[in-house]
Structure 1
Amino acid sequence: MTPAKRTTSADVARVAGVSRTTVSYVLNNRPGEVIPEDTRRRVLEAAERLAYRPRASARTLAGGRSDIVVLSIPDLPIGPSISRFVEELATSLAKHGLTLFTHLMSAHGRPLADVCATVEAAAVLGFGSFEPETVAALQRLGVAMVEPVDADYNASMGPIGRLQAEHLIERGHRRLGYALPAEPGFRQMAEGRLRGAAAACAAAGLPAPVALIADPEAADAEQAVSQWRELSVTGVCAFNDEVAFAVLAGLRQAGLGAPQDMAVIGADDIPTARFATPPLSTVSIDLAEAGRHRAEQVVTGLAGERVDLSSALVKVALVHRATS
């Protein structure tokens, strides 16, 4: 099947009976150019009838930069929390006339710089710091802003773990465990949350949490539960809700339950947490607000103003349910 020919500004000019320059002035709303209202109407009607969409390069020339923001996402499982962040980031950017593209980092995918060159990105955001050579390549392409989006999120790792541990300590638990994810890509975030939990234990004069991997495979989770029991652990902070579900499965496999045999608290407050058996205690993370905040920072940066990336606005809150 032969693809249809793309509509150009020349086609719009021909149908409207004007020059391509006039089409450019009208569609880009060039300041200082006085276009008769009848001419403006003919151009807009022609563009609508022909379903004309300017190329990214044309938009860049007209506006001084493109309207594309690229978000580079690591090749990891994307849960509901990150999905909420991306959705809110895209919605907030759209309110400022910016379009979000997502690029999944993969060993077999196209390099980030190649993707950004294709779409002529104005800004590039990423979960994690970029390699210096990547930053240099993006800057050579004229990308105006290259920043990690996880400054806020990573700053919340410690408070999440601390809030989990403080809750269990307040409930009377004196020996805590920490359930780590099996996925290596989550290890940095997990260590941040573990440090927060350890800080809460230290502040209460308690030993550091016993950290074990709780794989979603029930047999592995049951083994972790057995080790915690042998070490007199009565409450477990899980890296996230999915890992907490694995701990609950391990408890069931061992003929035990939460919270009577071992209290469990997760993190992220994914939609299924409230429907677990029993409903899962967890920590909610307002990543929607983080997405809106990051979008405002992008708009500020593209306007040439200084962006303060040190302000961590991710709000966390305890959600107490039946497992603790």
Structure 2
Amino acid sequence: MSNKRSTSSDVAKLAGVSRTTVSFVLNNIPDSNIPETTRQKVLDAAKQINYHPDASGRKLASGKSKMIGLVRLQSTEQVFNDAFLLQVLVGLEQAASKWGFHVLLKHIDHEKSDGYSQLITENHVDGIILSGPLQNDPELIKLHNEGVPIILLGQMVNTDIPFVDVNAELGSKTAVDYLISSGHKRIGMITNAKMDYSSAQQRKNGYLIALENAKIPVDEKLIKEGDFTPASGYSAMKELLTLSPAPTAVFVASDVVAIGAIQAIKQAGMKIPQDIEIIGFDDIPMAEFYDPPLSTIRLPAYDLGRVAGDQLIKMILSNEMDAPGFLLETELVLRESTKHEGY
């Protein structure tokens, strides 16, 4: 007689269902919408082959802590200024509560090599959602290869780490295309973050593609780095305004950074949009009510959090996802920081 231990795959095969369904039933996941007849099939199959879920065999303590970590590679000041993060957190919390999980928000210094491992061992999270990944992150790749459940809010090129993201390159191109269509040729850009963040490179790429398609030469002096905060946008815009000639329009790849840029423009005695037009990125809640109301690229922040939470917990419970990656759509929203409202 074989001593081979039964697995969830054996239960799934015997019951004629997927491993995800087996996991939902045996972990008693609420709101999983599984018919009672199917649920009973799974229970009967598990009993028949004497299968019991064993969390100890997993890479993480899945099903024990019922905790997932939302990680930002930012300083305390940067997290405090991140108005976009709150909307993501609301979507993530709703997804987590549906599954009976809780969310731990953690910021990690991106220069700290063992930050993720400490989060797992000290806070006992079952999986990680990393918002704003770096372009190169050896520790994260190592954990992924070891089987740690990880979802990126963003993307890391040349890896197979699952992600939920927007097409930031296309969104940025859309913003700059609009400024070009309004007659601008000297268009500045302030990034959302330093260039070692993948989102900063994607948004810069969109800016460069739009200029290239319009046959507008790239002037590197017109490109300045932001660093997640209004203060960084203020400093970057002050530098742009010293140029001769100064830009007539600026794409700022973060609404939070754009708030500082607008303040610098006002202090220089210039009017928006009469003297200079500005478009942001994210559509944070205050963008609509700022002075002037900010034209921007709208990201579905709530849905980013909700989808990421759903997919991470499915991965934790059954090692399965609905897809290896999700790209959500962006939308150009025109307000009074550009000259022509409407679509």
RMSD: 3.5
- 2:184 is the alignment partner of 1:173: yes
Task: Give the unaligned 5+ runs of structure 2.
Answer: 1-27, 30-42, 45-53, 156-162, 339-343
Equivalent residue for 1:287?
A: 301
TM-score for the superposition, normalised by structure 1: 0.69
Q: Supply the distance in 2 between the matched residues of 1:233 and 1:145 (Cα, whole angstroms).
A: 45
Higher deviation after alignment, 301-310 or 274-283: 301-310
- 2:128 is the alignment partner of 1:124: yes
- 2:222 is the alignment partner of 1:222: no
Q: Supply the distance in 1 between the matched residues of 2:179 and 2:215 (Cα, whole angstroms).
A: 14
Deviation at 1:246, TM superposition (A): 2.6
Equivalent residue for 1:258?
A: 272
**Rg larger in 1 or in 2?**
1
Report Cα offsets for 1:110-165 as digits up to 9, x if no partner: 8432332344432222232685555656887xx65234332356653212211210
Q: Structure 1 residues 213, 74: CA separation in 2 closer, same or farther (over 3 Å shift)?
A: closer
Q: Structure 1 residues 131, 158: CA separation in 2 closer, same or farther (over 3 Å shift)?
A: closer
**Contact 2:151 / 2:312 at 8 angstroms: preserved in 1?**
no
Aligned residues: 265
Q: Supply the distance in 2 between the matched residues of 1:195 and 1:279 (Cα, whole angstroms).
A: 26
**Contact 1:223 / 1:250 at 8 angstroms: preserved in 2?**
no
Work out which of the residue numbers 154, 170, 173 in structure 2 matches 1:159.
170
Q: Structure 1 residues 131, 211: CA separation in 2 closer, same or farther (over 3 Å shift)?
A: closer
TM-score for the superposition, normalised by structure 2: 0.65
Equivalent residue for 2:99?
A: 96
Q: Structure 1 residues 112, 212: CA separation in 2 closer, same or farther (over 3 Å shift)?
A: closer
Deviation at 1:199, TM superposition (A): 0.8
| SS state at 1:236 partner | strand
Q: Supply the distance in 2 between the matched residues of 1:109 and 1:206 (Cα, whole angstroms).
A: 41
Q: Structure 1 residues 184, 69: CA separation in 2 closer, same or farther (over 3 Å shift)?
A: same
Q: Structure 1 residues 179, 284: CA separation in 2 closer, same or farther (over 3 Å shift)?
A: same
Q: Supply the distance in 2 between the matched residues of 1:122 and 1:289 (Cα, whole angstroms).
A: 21
Work out which of the residue numbers 194, 211, 214 in structure 1 matches 2:223.
211
Kindly provide the amino acid, as one letter, of the partner of residue 150 in structure 1.
Answer: G
| SS state at 1:174 partner | coil
Q: Structure 1 residues 153, 322: CA separation in 2 closer, same or farther (over 3 Å shift)?
A: farther
Work out which of the residue numbers 231, 241, 265 in structure 1 matches 2:255.
241
Work out which of the residue numbers 210, 225, 236 in structure 2 matches 1:200.
210
Equivalent residue for 2:34?
A: none
Q: Supply the distance in 2 between the matched residues of 1:185 and 1:83 (Cα, whole angstroms).
A: 24
Q: Supply the distance in 2 between the matched residues of 1:213 and 1:144 (Cα, whole angstroms).
A: 33
Work out which of the residue numbers 148, 152, 158 in structure 1 matches 2:152.
148
**Contact 2:188 / 2:240 at 8 angstroms: preserved in 1?**
no
Task: Give the unaligned 5+ runs of structure 1.
Answer: 1-27, 33-58
Report Cα offsets for 1:90-123 as digits up to 9, x if no partner: 2112102222222321378984323323444322
Q: Structure 1 residues 219, 105: CA separation in 2 closer, same or farther (over 3 Å shift)?
A: closer
Deviation at 1:263, TM superposition (A): 0.8
Q: Supply the distance in 1 between the matched residues of 2:100 and 2:314 (Cα, whole angstroms).
A: 13
Report Cα offsets for 1:7-41 as digits up to 9, x if no partner: xxxxxxxxxxxxxxxxxxxxx99x68xxxxxxxxx
| SS state at 1:177 partner | strand
Higher deviation after alignment, 198-207 or 153-162: 153-162
The structure with the greater share of residues assigned to helix is 1
| SS state at 2:335 partner | coil
**Contact 2:190 / 2:225 at 8 angstroms: preserved in 1?**
yes
Q: Larger RCO: Structure 1 or Structure 2 (Cα < 8 Å, ≥ 6 residues apart)?
A: 2
Q: Supply the distance in 2 between the matched residues of 1:158 and 1:311 (Cα, whole angstroms).
A: 15
Equivalent residue for 2:68?
A: 69
Equivalent residue for 1:25?
A: none
Identical residues among aligned pairs (%): 20
Kindly provide the amino acid, as one letter, of the partner of residue 86 in structure 1.
Answer: L
Equivalent residue for 1:39?
A: none
Deviation at 1:197, TM superposition (A): 1.4
Deviation at 1:193, TM superposition (A): 0.9
Q: Supply the distance in 2 between the matched residues of 1:222 and 1:136 (Cα, whole angstroms).
A: 41
Report Cα offsets for 1:192-235 as digits up to 9, x if no partner: 212101111222222236213477375763342231xx236311
| SS state at 1:312 partner | strand
**Contact 1:221 / 1:250 at 8 angstroms: preserved in 2?**
yes
**Contact 1:162 / 1:197 at 8 angstroms: preserved in 2?**
yes
